[in-house]
Amino acid sequence: MEEKEIISIWFIIGCLLFLFGVIIFAANVLDYYVPWSGTVTVLHEYRAGIWWGAFLIVIGLVYSIAFNPWKKTKEAA
Amino acid sequence: MLGLIVPQLAMLFTGSNIISLGWVDSAIVILYFIFVLGIGFYLMKFTKTGEDFFMAGRSMTMWIAGLSFVAANLGSLELMGWAAASYQYGILATHWYWIGAVPAMLFLGLIMMPFYYISKTHSVPGYLKLRFGDGASMVSAVSFGFMTVLMSGINMYSMAIVMKVVLGWDIHFSIWVSSITVMLYVVLGGLLSAILNEVLQFMLIWLGALLIPILGMIEAGGWEKMVDRIHQNFPQGDYTHLWSTLGSFQDNPMGIHWTGIVFGLGFCISFAYWTTDFLVVQRVLTAKDLRAAKMAPIIGASFKMFVPLIVILPGLLGLAVIPGLVGETEAIATGGHSYNEVLPLMMARYLGPGLLGLGITALIAGFMSGMAGNVSAFATVWTYDIYRPIHRMFAKTDGTDAHFVKIGRWTTIIGVFVSIGTAYLVQQFASIMDYVQALFSFFVAPLFGTVILGMLWKRATKAGGYYGLLAGTVSSIGMWLWVKMDPTALKIIALSPYAKDMAENMYRALWSWSICVAVTVIVSLMTKAKPDSELDGLVRSCTVLPSEGHLPFYQRPVFFASIVFAVFLALNIIFW
Sign of CA dihedral B199, B204, B209, B211: positive
- The pLDDT of residue B269 is 82
Please tell me if residue A5 touches chain B, with a CB cutoff of 8 Å.
yes
Instruction: Note whether B61 contacts A16, CB cutoff 8 Å.
Output: no
Give how many domains chain B has, as a whole number.
Answer: 1
| Ordered DSSP codes for B485-519 | H-GGGHHHHSSSTT--HHHHHHHHHHHHHHHHHHH
ipTM of this predicted structure: 0.89
Whether pLDDT at B130 is above 80: yes
Interface of B with A (CB under 8 A): 22, 24, 27-28, 31-32, 35, 39, 42-43, 45-49, 51-52, 56-57, 59-61, 64, 192, 196, 199-200, 203-204, 207, 211, 215, 218-219, 348-355, 358
- Least confident range from B126-130, B169-173, B296-300: namely B169-173
Residues 6+ apart with CB under 8 A from B453: B460, B464, B465, B468, B517, B520, B521, B524
Instruction: Note whether B42 contacts A43, CB cutoff 8 Å.
Output: no
pLDDT, tens digit, 9 for 90 and up, residues B74-99 = 765 677 788 888 888 889 989 989 99
More confident residue, B321 or B337: B321
For residue A74, the SS3 value is: coil
Range of the structural domain that residue B421 is part of? 2-237+282-433+545-574
CA gap B51, B190 in Å, rounded: 10
CA-nearest of B102, B355, B71 to B196 is B71
CA distance B196 to chain A (A): 6
Instruction: Note whether B28 contacts A52, CB cutoff 8 Å.
Output: no
Of A12, A37, A75, the CB nearest to B353: A37
Instruction: Note whether A41 contacts B49, CB cutoff 8 Å.
Output: no
Cα R_g (chain A), whole angstroms: 17
- The pLDDT of residue B367 is 82
CA-nearest of B304, B296, B305, B303 to B109 is B296
Whether pLDDT at B237 is above 90: no
Write out chain A residues lying below 8 Å of B32, CB-based: 16
| Ordered DSSP codes for B299-345 | HHHHHHTTTHHHHHHHHHHHHHH-TT-B-HHHHHHHT--BGGGHHHH
- The pLDDT of residue B439 is 67
Instruction: Note whether A20 contacts B196, CB cutoff 8 Å.
Output: no
CA gap B279, B114 in Å, rounded: 18
| Ordered DSSP codes for B173-198 | HHHHHHHHHHHHHHHHHHHHHHHHHH
**How far from chain centre, in Å, is Cα B32?**
23
For residue B284, the SS3 value is: helix
Whether pLDDT at B39 is above 50: yes
Write out chain B residues lying below 8 Å of A77, CB-based: 59-61, 64, 192, 196
CA gap B236, B431 in Å, rounded: 33
B53 assigned to some structural domain:
yes
Of A16, A23, A43, the CB nearest to B218: A43
Q: What is the mean pLDDT of chain B?
A: 85
For residue B165, the SS3 value is: helix
CA gap B285, B116 in Å, rounded: 7
What are the extents of the domains in chain A?
A: 3-68
- The pLDDT of residue B434 is 61
CA gap B98, B370 in Å, rounded: 20
Residue type, B456: L
The residue of A7, A9, A73 whose CB has the most chain B CBs within 10 angstroms, and thus the best one to mutate to test that interface, is: A9
Whether pLDDT at A37 is above 90: no
Whether pLDDT at B12 is above 50: no
CA gap B552, B269 in Å, rounded: 35
- Least confident range from A32-41, B78-87, B143-152: namely A32-41
State percent of chain B over pLDDT 90: 31
Determine contact, residues B407/B54, Cβ cutoff 8 Å. no
Of A1, A13, A53, the CB nearest to B203: A13
CA-nearest of B37, B213, B35 to A17 is B35
Q: Which residues pair with B425 in a beta bridge?
A: none
Tell me the CA end-to-end span of chain A in Å, nearest whole number: 12
Q: What is the mean pLDDT of residues B316-322?
A: 92
- Least confident range from B19-28, B283-292, B311-320, B401-410: namely B19-28
Q: How many CB atoms lie within 10 A of CB B238?
A: 17
B130 assigned to some structural domain:
yes
| CATH number (domain holding residue B119) | 1.20.1730.10
- For the ranges B293-307, B432-446, B538-552, the maximum mean pLDDT occurs at B293-307
Whether pLDDT at B476 is above 70: yes
CA-nearest of B273, B280, B254 to B513 is B273
CA gap B470, B124 in Å, rounded: 16
Instruction: Note whether B349 contacts A41, CB cutoff 8 Å.
Output: yes
Q: How many A×B Cβ pairs under 8 Å?
A: 107
pLDDT, tens digit, 9 for 90 and up, residues B97-128 = 999 999 999 999 999 888 888 888 888 888 89
Of A9, A23, A48, the CB nearest to B24: A23
More confident residue, B487 or A65: A65
More confident residue, B175 or B437: B175
Of B46, B48, B354, the CB nearest to A28: B354
B79-92: burial string, b at 16+ Cβ within 10 Å, e else: bbbbbbbbbbbbbb
Instruction: Note whether B61 contacts A75, CB cutoff 8 Å.
Output: yes
Instruction: Note whether A1 contacts B61, CB cutoff 8 Å.
Output: no
Residue type, B62: M
Of A5, A9, A28, the CB nearest to B352: A28
Write out chain B residues lying below 8 Å of A52, CB-based: 211, 355
Could you give the count of Cα atoms lying within 13 Å of B199 in the half-sphere of its Cβ?
A: 25
Instruction: Tell me which DSSP letter residue B95 carries.
Output: G
Query: What's the per-residue H, E or C state across B349-376?
Result: HHCCCCHHHHHHHHHHHHHHHHHHHHHH
Residues 6+ apart with CB under 8 A from B265: B95, B96, B99, B100, B506
